[in-house]
Amino acid sequence: MSSMRSSWRKIAFVAVGGLTEVSFAWSLLLVVSHQGRGVVALASEERVARDWQETGAWFDTARGTGLGIGRWRASG
Predicted pLDDT of residue 76: 46
Q: What is the DSSP string of 7-54?
A: S---------TTEEEEEEETTEEEEEETTEEEEEETTTTEEEEEE---
pLDDT band at 3 (very low <50, low <70, confident <90, very high): low
pLDDT, tens digit, 9 for 90 and up, residues 14-67: 777 788 888 887 888 888 888 888 888 888 888 888 888 777 787 787 887 777
30: alpha, beta or left? (left if phi > 0; alpha if psi -120 to 50): beta
